[in-house]
């Protein structure tokens, strides 16, 4: 009798597995459309492995100046070359362009959630839903992992804005203050604490920068700016080709991108109250002995910056940035982050800040962070991205948290790296 029961149970399990496999064979599917004004795309392979990857793209400049055109593509991966590789491994892919460009965090959180809901209603129920996001998309990703434990089973966040929106944008204000201190900011740009709401980096900011970086004598001044702000991180030596490219991207966000967010928030957004602008001893020695900056100039620049720690954003606009988004750290499912050590825009120090937030919330067991030797913002290789996707999928599927061995050094991972904190809290 027992043998018959065991045999019957085995048959039930066999047919259940066959039914599940048959039910999952819904592909190949490649559909695009629009949900509440947000373009989306869903692609499912014939050999779907049960995992749905939901892609959250990074910042896209809003077409708010003459000659600009909005990018409204519903990308499903950070690199188009990854799409056939991931599909061959059985992953279903999806993504949204969000309702708007610019700092569209509030929209992005809802738009990606809508894609998952649409997938469940029209394609099928995934075994695992994993959000993978990059750059500004990680603000959406981290916020979503705190809000939607029943939607996302895990997340991969690359080149992540781990410090949250207010601390990150305050750092952009620090950059504007340092630049204003050394070179002077034209009144037409606004002020370091409140840029003009329609400033155009390409036609206003870049021409001035081009003239300044073209003068070799200004290199030391720009190095002071870089060090006092903390790019790419205190104690991290940038490569030889770091200058001057980092300036143009960072100043874009400090001016034009910030102005777009100020319009959303209906007011200025950055603060620098209680700041202490300083240099480490090693940084001072570098400026004084290698770049031959007079100590008096360094002291004057620091005193000027520390004499202007009075910027205080209005509550209504500041609260908009907090909502979109600062983090509680109360993630509900596994989160894997990956960051290049040399990142000129979203510094690797942001990983330190995110770990602090998650650990203080008592959720450190749900976070794993890995680092690469890439040079640049989100400068990951295809092999690194595939490795990370498979790592978070395995963690969610089997409960097996990654280890250093998951991310081998021959692929450009840097085991044992510990990021420094940001220069300002």
Q: Tens digits of per-residue pLDDT, 145-201?
A: 999 989 999 999 999 999 999 999 999 999 999 999 999 999 999 999 999 999 999
Among the residue ranges 17-26, 64-73, 96-105, the one predicted with the least confidence is: 17-26
Rounded percentage of the chain residues whose pLDDT exceeds 90: 93
Asked if pLDDT for residue 281 goes beyond 50, the answer is: yes
Angle between helices 136-147 and 105-122 (to 10 degrees): 60
CATH 3.40.50.1820 positions along the chain are 28-164+325-411
Determine the pLDDT at residue 9.
38
Mean pLDDT computed over 272-295: 97
CATH code at 28-164+325-411: 3.40.50.1820
Q: How confident is the model at residue 296 (pLDDT cuts 50, 70, 90)?
A: very high
What value does the mean pLDDT of the chain take?
94
Burial of 144 (0-12, 13-18, 19+ CB in 10 A): buried
> What is the 3-class SS of 267-329, one letter each residue?
CCCCCCCCCCCCCCHHHHHHHHHHCCCCHHHHHHHHHHHHCCCCCCCCHHHHHHHHHCCCCCC
User: What pLDDT, on the 0 to 100 scale, is given for residue 11?
Assistant: 36
Q: What is the pLDDT of residues 51-70, one digit of tens each?
A: 999 999 999 999 999 999 99
Is the Cβ–Cβ distance between 31 and 115 less than 8 Å? no
- pLDDT of residue 311 exceeding 60: yes
Residue 27 has a pLDDT of 78
Q: Give the per-residue pLDDT at 388.
A: 98
Average pLDDT of span 326-353: 98
pTM exceeds cut of 0.75? yes
- Give the per-residue pLDDT at 18: 40
With a cut of 50, say whether residue 6 has pLDDT above it.
Answer: no
Checking if the pLDDT of 4 tops 90, the result is no
Three-class secondary structure assignment of the chain: CHHHHHHHHHHHHHHHHHHHHHHHCCCCEEEEEEECCEEEEEEECCCCCCEEEEEECCCCCCCCCCCCCCCCCCCCCCCCCHHHHHHHCCCEEEEECCCCCCCCHHHHHHHHHHHHHHHHHHCCCCCEEEEEEECHHHHHHHHHHHHCCCCCCEEEEECCCCCCHHHHHHHHHHHHHHHHHHCCCCHHHEECCEECCCCCHHHHHHHHHHHHHCCHHHHHHHHHHHHHHCCCCCCCCCCHHHCCHHHHHHHHHHHHHHHHHHHHHCCCCCCCCCCCCCCCHHHHHHHHHHCCCCHHHHHHHHHHHHCCCCCCCCHHHHHHHHHCCCCCCCCCCCEEEEEEEECCCCCCHHHHHHHHHHHHCCCHHHEEEEEEEEECCCCCCHHHHHHHHHHHHHHHHHCCCCCHHHCCHHHCECCCCCCCCCCCC
Percent of the chain with pLDDT over 70: 94
Give yes or no for residue 24 having a pLDDT over 90.
Answer: no
């Amino acid at each position: 009798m027992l043998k018959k029961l065991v045999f019957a149970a085995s048959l039930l399990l066999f047919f259940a597995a066959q039914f599940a496999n048959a039910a999952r064979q819904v592909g190949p599917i490649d559909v695009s459309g629009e949900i509440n004004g947000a373009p989306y795309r869903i692609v499912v392979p014939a050999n779907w492995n049960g995992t749905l990857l939901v892609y959250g793209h990074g910042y896209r400049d809003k077409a708010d100046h003459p000659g600009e055109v909005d990018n409204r593509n519903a990308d499903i991966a950070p690199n188009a070359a990854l799409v056939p590789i991931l599909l061959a491994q059985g992953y279903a892919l999806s993504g949204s362009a969000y309702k708007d460009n610019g700092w569209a965090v509030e929209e992005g959180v809802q738009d990606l959630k809508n894609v998952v809901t649409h997938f469940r209603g029209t394609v099928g129920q995934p075994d695992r839903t994993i959000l993978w996001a990059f750059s500004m998309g990680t603000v959406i990703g981290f916020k979503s992992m705190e809000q939607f434990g029943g939607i996302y089973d895990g997340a991969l966040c690359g080149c992540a804005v781990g410090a949250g929106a207010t601390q990150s944008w305050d750092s952009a204000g620090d950059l504007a203050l340092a630049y204003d201190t050394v070179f002077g900011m034209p009144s037409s740009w606004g002020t370091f604490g409140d840029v003009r709401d329609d400033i155009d980096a390409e036609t206003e900011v870049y021409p001035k920068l081009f003239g300044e970086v073209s003068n070799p004598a200004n290199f030391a001044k720009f190095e002071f700016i870089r060090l006092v702000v903390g790019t790419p991180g205190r104690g991290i030596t940038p490569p030889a080709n770091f200058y001057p490219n980092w300036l143009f991207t960072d100043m874009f966000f400090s001016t034009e991108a910030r102005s777009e967010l100020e319009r959303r928030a209906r007011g200025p957004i950055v603060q620098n109250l209680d700041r202490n602008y300083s240099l480490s001893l090693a940084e001072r020695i570098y400026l004084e002995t290698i770049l031959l900056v007079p100590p008096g100039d360094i002291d004057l620049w620091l005193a000027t910056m520390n004499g202007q720690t009075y910027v205080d954003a209005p509550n209504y606009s500041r609260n908009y940035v907090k909502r979109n988004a600062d983090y509680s750290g109360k993630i509900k499912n596994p989160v894997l982050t990956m960051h290049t050590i040399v990142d000129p825009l979203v510094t690797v120090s942001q990983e330190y800040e995110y770990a602090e937030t998650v650990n203080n919330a008592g959720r450190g067991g749900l976070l794993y962070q890995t680092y690469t030797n890439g040079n640049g913002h989100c400068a990951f290789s295809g092999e690194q991205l595939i490795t990370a996707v498979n790592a978070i999928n395995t963690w969610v599927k089997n409960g097996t948290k990654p280890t250093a061995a998951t991310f081998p050094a021959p692929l450009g991972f840097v085991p044992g790296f510990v990021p420094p904190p940001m220069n300002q809290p």
